[in-house]
Structure 1
Amino acid sequence: MPRTLIITNDFPPRAGGIESFVHELALRRADSVVVYCSSPTRRDDAADPGFDLRQPFPIVRDAARVLLPTPRVAARARAIVGLEHCDSVLYGAAAPLGLLAAGLRGRVRRQVALTHGHETGWSGLPGAREALRRVGETTDAVTYLGDYTRRRLARALSAPAAARMRHLPPGVDTDRFHPGAGGTEIRARHGLGGRPVVVCVSRLVPRKGQDTLLRAWPRVLADVPDAALLIVGDGPYADRLRAAARDTESVVFTGPVPADELPAHHDAADVFAMPCRTRRGGLDVEGLGMVYLEASATGVPVVAGDSGGAPDAVLDGETGLVVDGSRPGPTARALIGLLRDPDRAAQMGARGREWVSRDWTWDRAARTLDELLTAP
């Protein structure tokens, strides 16, 4: 049976939205994929040392921590294509690994490049924009997450490549993310009891807006004195965020948590909040925000920042609220409104669960990918 080679830097046990996206797509083609990816960090290995062995498809790990479109990586990709009888290639992220496509033309029948948020940054940079254009010209399709990313990417691609773009957003496993997924245990673990709880699940980096949450938090406490903020995740911004929250006992940092505990952390929330913001003149932007969809699937209303494609993951006023993530005031007002009106919050959570269950399924994403990889 012909196989698809997935070439990616973003793959578990490394944690992240792109990693989950690529892994879920691989699982739905488990009998016909081979994954070629970079090596995990020591921290990732420690978190799940047996990950590769449990997968229902072969994984080829490169020794490098980051794969780049070098002659060595290109040669290894060609070797895997031949040994595994691959007739198609899926690039887990178009930038930069989609640049390998030129060297694989004629060796495989179809090549598809996924895009996320960082490719929109590439689309605005001289040099990177031209590289993205080459990816579009040497692959058979470039995917996009939503209207925002489509518009940004289309400006960088040639007209024929832009015409071949296809909508391929992620899905959510609503069997994993559901109301009652274990939030009571998470609340007990952190001594939160029945307090109103705001949860943020994300990498701790400036774009995600945890600092905006911390700046908004005194205003929230003034109106909801018993509220608690649970910040879930890890990243290079961790020390600065912990320092900023040092004077309050209502903020809890969990550090990194296992992937199988993420639904429970969402379920611990009365409100999910990640007030992301665009940085560096549009180069650092949110592509979509799977965490909003996962929170909605868990029946939790969301407060989202207005960065890039994040509003595509929220029905503003129905499943949550979209705010200016660069300022604490709008975030504080949104959180106070939802925490003080639990009936409205519950209605938004229920609407979010309904919306995600209908329109954001992995089966739909897998069908789209199958069409792209098998097209004549």
Structure 2
Amino acid sequence: MIAIATQCLAPDVGGIETLLTGLADELAANGRAIEVFADRIHRDGADELVRSYPIHRFGLFRPTRRWLKRRAIAARGPTRFVGAFADSWKSVAAIPADLAPIAAFAHGNEIPQDARGGKAERVRTAFKRVATVIAISQFTAEAVRRIVGENGPRIVVVNPPLSRQATAGPAALSAIATRIAGRGPVLSTLSRLEPRKGVDMVIGALPQLRERFPRIVYLVAGAGDDLPRLRALAAERGVAGQVEFLGALPDDQAKAALFERSQVFAMPTRRVGASVEGFGIAYAEAAWRGVPSLAGSEGGASDAVIDGRTGLLCRGDDPQAVLAGLTTLLADESLRERLGGAARQRAREELTWERALPHYLAAIGL
């Protein structure tokens, strides 16, 4: 039996949620007995997952949730579990001290860039209990190594794999077509709406892009606190008619339709304070459908988008670099086809659970 202690799990939305839910599903599909100990569902109106394995949910404050999970795992007895996964260093505290080995994921934002200070010490303390840290990118692995030093736990890099991708049905395709309304080329972004994702930089490039591509349209899918600022920016730049804010997409078919109708996936991420992209699973999801990406060069996006092979990297904090990258991709159809084809091949051959799962199991000695 394998335990998974996680703050993040579907039906909540996000890259970590996708990864941990996929891990649980794939372990179960490959005959591994598992139990999941997760935080309460935060998404309003969302139903609990229906799975063959047990999922235990815990509410109240974070320290209380960790204590409740630890008590629940310990109540199963010291020999029930042969290993455990933690979605980050924070969830290591939810795993009893006598349960080993533990593998903890490292994503990016939760790892401090400065090896000094109280948070760095808490990370070091948590990772002392861990046999393996699974970093989602080389960037994240380097950040962990700065914190734990050469005598810390083993660090392996496993890029997040893609779970089975949905097919866009007629209703989803029709809904996207209505928003596009015959325009093109189509840019898209799918993310939480927060400054570091670079939606504002794409909006800022639209006035000049419109001069060359008069019918360009930019589809922005996702919800977040940055939405009012982004709407105001589109109006201020005179491109409100070119930007379609889709909100949070209702399901995976809607996501598939978004990608299938896009020429370029644009998410030129940048560092904002301590916040930085650790990988960016949306780049891989776009790649699976043959859509090349423009990504930011800061952080771990360079693991998700290989510059000049599956998309382009740019300085996400440089408006001219973002404009140049978008112009290059939009103006050259043969380049898009070459990059998109390579992106599709990599996503379908390299970023798979068949390749990743053995590495995850090895992280807990199986």
CA drift at 1:122: 6.0
* CA contact 2:176–2:257 (8 Å) conserved in 1: no
Does residue 55 (structure 1) correspond to residue 51 (structure 2)? The answer is: yes
**Which amino acid in the other structure matches residue 365 of structure 1?**
A
Determine if contact 2:263/2:291 at 8 Å carries over to the other structure.
yes
* CA distance in 2: counterparts of 1:274 and 1:217, whole angstroms: 14
Percent identity over the alignment is: 28
Aligned to 1:253: 245
**In structure 2, what is the equivalent of residue 166 of structure 1?**
156
Instruction: Report the alpha carbon displacement of residue 99 of structure 1 after superposing the two structures with TM.
Output: 3.4
Which deviates the most, 67-76 or 351-360? 67-76
Contact preservation (8 Å) 1:141, 1:161: no
Within the candidate set 189, 193, 200, 1:204 is matched to 193
Partner of 1:309: 300
Task: Tell me what 2:41 maps to.
Answer: 40
Q: Distance in 1 between matches of 2:338 and 2:168?
A: 13
Cα shift readout 1:9-60 (whole Å, capped 9, x = no counterpart):
111111001100111111011251111111122xx242x32x32x1221110
| Matched-pair contact (CA < 8 Å) for 1:178–1:298 | no
* 3-state SS, counterpart of residue 165 of structure 1: strand
Aligned with 1:156: secondary structure?
Answer: helix
Contact 1:38 1:64 in 2 (8 A): no
Contact 2:223 2:248 in 1 (8 A): yes
Aligned amino acid, residue 133 of structure 2: V
Structure 1: state its 5+ residue gaps: none
Amino acid across the alignment from 2:70? A
Task: Look up the match of 2:232.
Answer: 243
Q: Give the 5 Å matches for 1:312-327.
A: 312-327=303-318
Matched residue SS, 1:121:
coil
The separation in 2 between residues aligned to 1:69 and 1:159, in whole angstroms, is 32
1:64 aligns with 2:60: yes
For residue 237 of structure 1, report the CA deviation from its aligned partner. Answer: 0.9
Q: Distance in 1 between matches of 2:74 and 2:195?
A: 38
Contact 1:129/1:156 (CA < 8 Å) preserved in 2?
yes
1:78 to 2:36 alignment: no
Structure 1 residues 287, 264: CA separation in 2 closer, same or farther (over 3 Å shift)?
Answer: same
Offset of 1:348 from its aligned partner? Answer: 0.8
- Normalised to the residue count of structure 2, the TM-score between the two structures is 0.91
In structure 2, the CA distance between the partners of 1:256 and 1:127, relative to structure 1 (3 Å rule), is same
Task: Tell me if the contact between 1:302 and 1:321 (Cα under 8 Å) persists in the aligned partners.
Answer: yes
Which residue identity is paired with 2:243? V
Match of 1:185 in 2: 174
Which one-letter code corresponds to 1:202 in the other structure?
Answer: S
TM superposition shift of 1:124 = 4.3
Structure 2 gap ranges (5+): none
Conserved? CA contact 1:170–1:360, under 8 Å:
yes
Counterpart Cα distance in 1 of 2:140 and 2:279: 9
Cα displacement (A) at 1:127 = 1.0
State the match for 2:255 in structure 1: 262
C-alpha deviations, 1:65-108, integer Å up to 9, x for none? 756675444323423x43992232110122x222345xx232x2
> Which of 73, 83, 86 is matched with 1:91 structurally?
86
Task: Give the distance between the partners of 2:87 and 2:260, measured in 1 at CA.
Answer: 29
Matched residue, 2:111: 120
CA displacement at 1:111 relative to structure 2: 0.9
Distance 1:182 1:349 in 2: 25
The change in CA–CA distance for 1:331 and 1:234 in structure 2 (over 3 A counts) is same
Q: How big is the alpha-carbon RMSD for the aligned residues of Structure 1 and Structure 2?
A: 2.4
Q: Please tell me whether residue 339 in structure 1 is matched to residue 325 in structure 2.
A: no
- After superposition, give the CA deviation of every residue in 1:139-194 in whole Å (9 maximum; x if it has no partner): 111111222111111011142324x1122221124x51689999843431314325
Q: CA deviation at 1:279?
A: 1.7
Alignment of 1:11-26 (within 5 A): 11-26=9-24
Q: Distance in 1 between matches of 2:170 and 2:359?
A: 29
2:295 partner SS: strand
Q: 2:3 is paired with a residue of what secondary structure? A: strand
